[in-house]
Structure 1
Amino acid sequence: MRPLTDAAGRQADPISDTPERAELRAELRRLIAATSPAAEVLRLDEQERFDDKLHEALRRLGVHAVGGHPDHGGIGDIRDQTAVIEELAAGPTSMAVHMVVQYMITHILGTNGSPEQREEWLDRLHTGAAKVSFALSEPAGGTDIARVMRTTARREGDHWLLSGQKTWISGALGADALVVLARTSPAEGSSVDGVTMFLVPAGSPGLQVRELPTVAVHGLDTCEVFFDDVAVPESAVVGAVGAGFRQVVATLNRERINAAAGAIGAASGALDAAVEYARGRAAFGSTLGSFQAVQHRLVDGALAIESARSLLARAAAVEAAGGRADLLSSMAKIAASEAAVKVTQDGMEILGGAGFSREFPMQRWFRDVRLWVFAPLANDMVRNYLGERLLELPRSF
């Protein structure tokens, strides 16, 4: 179920879609249908392969530059990014996850990178000629990563030496570089202090990547990354020494907004498929779609999607205007991810045996959307944050 439209087929909500953004959506739909139709997405998902053909088509379309630094070819803003991600997630969901990571990296480097880093990397990132992975989570900590971070970086002469391990890192196998968070000094007053961000070229001596077997998002590798005294120059520091975690926190609104867009897109694709199946599936002298219980499930799914989309539109509009979108982006992330879980669960049950078959896409959406319940932050922790910041209740963690 794509965004609601008016009688002329344009986007009905002026907050979320201008005519230009509506045309971007339409062009993406045409490109995806031609380059990565449902059968191709399923084939690559089964083979656990990245869609290089689609990536090249997206590169030619210029979507990697969306929301990027204007001095380096960036165009549009976070609202355009959400349109790109939503359209991708409705089909080749793994590519949507890839773009969430790339948009996060371009924002980090565009905001915190040195002139030399921006010159070297942003042009290539904006044209899709380079891929950069983001390495934060570790085996001992995901949400609590700043306090328990074991990856360290120490100065030796004019270089830094990185040692440690990161895990659940998306796209590390195919990356040209990794943005890595490492502790460079003991925490002083707060566990978020003393963490520094580094830009580490792939293939650096001492850096090893191992792909992890995951249940979903098979079109994008998820990896462990090991650092054994990986040497990087002083120029590899992104932003200020000791301020890396605070720099990352400043990007979380955009990551939550884009994650919500991905969940909404996947839920929309799954709902469309469930409605189409219900219309055509003969049962008891009629069709599944004629049964009230089935209709109610489908309608409730549409309500959940549109409710989440409204929150997403508000959050993205505030973020684009330079306002503080942390509460809205948090609510949008919860609403979107849980709408996606509901829609795909109902979709599996409506399709019955067809849902259980890997020849139908419902099972892929059912698996893929689970990612956004705990990434980029577990929904329980997001609720804790909202309890404290929105409702002004005592901190619960």
Structure 2
Amino acid sequence: MDFALTEEQEAFRKSLRAWIDNELDKNTSRDWESREFDYPYDLWDKMSAQGLHGIGLPEEYGGQGGDVSTQMIVARELARTLGGLTWIWGVSSFCAKSVALHGSAEIKQELLPKLAEGRIRMAIALTEPSGGTDVLGSMRTVATKAEGGWRITGQKIWSTAAHASDYLMLVAKSDPDAKKASRGVTIFLVPTASDGVSTRQIPKVGMKAVGSCEVFLDDVFVPDRLVVGEPHRGWYQMLETLNNERIMVGALCTGVLDGVLEDALAYVMEREAFGGPIGRFQALQHFIADIAMWQKQAELMTWYAAWRQQQGLPCGTESTMAKVVASELAGKAADLGIQILGGMGYALETNMQRYWRDVRLYRIGPITSEMARNTIAESYGLPRSF
């Protein structure tokens, strides 16, 4: 197994990093993040101009092409400065890949070029208020067949950037008679401008500018052409993309580890106390060494999962492991980073606190570390625990 980047990928990474340092530097990213309920359209537009929204999409539809590793390079490099704001790119990218995989020829032709150019945005509407991780068991959003389409009523929660998106990639119960809940749901592309759609942003600890929303649907009509894939088979289509999402979270958290290490090193080399730079103190050197080792662990596990997916090998357990390990180590590193910076680590004018706040989410979503551990244990032959 060789996880080394190809020459082309390494050149892309270096070019991307230079652009990020020039256009999306950490202080600018901190200012974006602090604008609660104020979606950073200027950040989106910069990404569009750079062609990032086309990464991973077929060239025939205006995309840039690129494999899983290329997507992971983007997620990691963006997260080094943006932290959780990386989802400004990531959520719509995830939805676009789902359309590319399961959308009809008509809908691909209509939407993928617009997605690749950044002319439209998409948000995921999956989780419901009553269930959290128990997506299928708690699903109360119902789609009823109507002439020429479907009527959808229900409520979603934690839909990232739904208020600023043109479409919701929404999952609803479509077959009330299905013997298994997993066989009775459908994926719809719901235009957010539709009558009966409304959103409310939820105040939260981190990623304040992205917007995490409740979505309310009151008898919303969606035409048949905006059904993604086969009706009533939406859950199985979603499962095909979950591994990619978890690998992307692993890459994002690895990028946060990059940023934490970078800031911690700069601080201990510049800050002076007791007659010299504090980087000479053994305790702080051990902190730096721990963060560096955690960075490598997250990197290796994430890239191993991505490699397996690219090879067409089973990667469910590996992608779940990568998500858990990277998110937990990134959280530990950011917390230790605050300790290294001392009082300034707690100050809003530095970036360590932003990494700490942002990365805390990834032990909860898109799957909790506890549920992920259940899944991993089950893959080793243990009985299902829920």
Please give the range of the TM-score, normalised by the shorter of the 2 chains: over 0.9
Give aligned-pair identity as a percent: 36
Identify the residue that residue 32 of structure 2 maps to in structure 1: 44
Return 19-28 or 46-55, whichever deviates more: 46-55
Q: Does 1:226 align with 2:216?
A: yes
Identify the residue that residue 4 of structure 1 maps to in structure 2: none
Q: 1:294 aligns with which of 266, 281, 284?
A: 284
How far apart are 1:40 and its partner, in Å?
Answer: 1.5
* Rounded Cα–Cα distance in structure 2 between residues aligned with 1:376 and 1:117: 27
* Rounded Cα–Cα distance in structure 2 between residues aligned with 1:249 and 1:331: 16
Identify the residue that residue 170 of structure 1 maps to in structure 2: 160
Identify the residue that residue 355 of structure 1 maps to in structure 2: 345
* Rounded Cα–Cα distance in structure 2 between residues aligned with 1:280 and 1:43: 23
| Larger helix percent | 2
Aligned in 2, Cα 1:257/1:16: closer, same or farther, shift over 3 Å? Answer: farther
Return 308-317 or 221-230, whichever deviates more: 308-317
* Rounded Cα–Cα distance in structure 1 between residues aligned with 2:92 and 2:34: 24
Identify the residue that residue 295 of structure 2 maps to in structure 1: 305
In structure 1, the residue corresponding to 2:221 is in which secondary structure? strand
Asked if 2 retains the 8 angstrom alpha-carbon contact of 1:260 and 1:337, the reply is yes
Deviations 1:322-381 (A, max 9, x none): 222111111111111011011101001111110110000111001001121111110111
Deviations 1:93-147 (A, max 9, x none): 2441122212211221011101111111111111111101110001011211111
Q: 1:266 aligns with which of 234, 251, 256?
A: 256
1:210-249 equivalences in 2 (<5 Å): 210-249=200-239
How far apart are 1:16 and its partner, in Å?
Answer: 4.4
1:88-237 equivalences in 2 (<5 Å): 88-186=78-176, 188-237=178-227
Q: Does 1:393 align with 2:382?
A: yes
Identify the residue that residue 60 of structure 2 maps to in structure 1: 71
Deviations 1:137-158 (A, max 9, x none): 0101121111110000101222
Asked if 2 retains the 8 angstrom alpha-carbon contact of 1:94 and 1:219, the reply is no
Deviations 1:307-336 (A, max 9, x none): 111111111111122222111111111111
Identify the residue that residue 21 of structure 2 maps to in structure 1: 33
Deviations 1:178-199 (A, max 9, x none): 1110001136343212011101
* Rounded Cα–Cα distance in structure 2 between residues aligned with 1:95 and 1:23: 24
Return 256-265 or 280-289, whichever deviates more: 280-289
Q: Which runs of 4+ in 1 moved over 6 A?
A: none
Q: Does 1:17 align with 2:5?
A: yes
Asked if 2 retains the 8 angstrom alpha-carbon contact of 1:45 and 1:219, the reply is yes
Matched residue count: 384
Identify the residue that residue 247 of structure 2 maps to in structure 1: 257
Asked if 2 retains the 8 angstrom alpha-carbon contact of 1:170 and 1:222, the reply is yes
Asked if 1 retains the 8 angstrom alpha-carbon contact of 2:79 and 2:86, the reply is yes
Aligned in 2, Cα 1:100/1:16: closer, same or farther, shift over 3 Å? Answer: farther
Asked if 1 retains the 8 angstrom alpha-carbon contact of 2:75 and 2:90, the reply is yes
Query: What amino acid is aligned across from residue 9 of structure 2 in structure 1?
Result: R
Query: What amino acid is aligned across from residue 203 of structure 1 in structure 2?
Result: A
Asked if 1 retains the 8 angstrom alpha-carbon contact of 2:53 and 2:116, the reply is yes
* Rounded Cα–Cα distance in structure 2 between residues aligned with 1:95 and 1:47: 12
Aligned in 2, Cα 1:265/1:157: closer, same or farther, shift over 3 Å? Answer: same
Return 283-292 or 269-278, whichever deviates more: 283-292
Asked if 2 retains the 8 angstrom alpha-carbon contact of 1:209 and 1:226, the reply is yes
Give the alignment's Cα RMSD to 1 decimal: 1.5
TM-score, structure 1 as length reference = 0.93
* Rounded Cα–Cα distance in structure 1 between residues aligned with 2:44 and 2:19: 11
Asked if 1 retains the 8 angstrom alpha-carbon contact of 2:154 and 2:218, the reply is yes
How far apart are 1:56 and its partner, in Å?
Answer: 2.1
* Rounded Cα–Cα distance in structure 1 between residues aligned with 2:372 and 2:320: 6
Aligned in 2, Cα 1:61/1:280: closer, same or farther, shift over 3 Å? Answer: same
Q: 2:47 aligns with which of 55, 58, 62?
A: 58
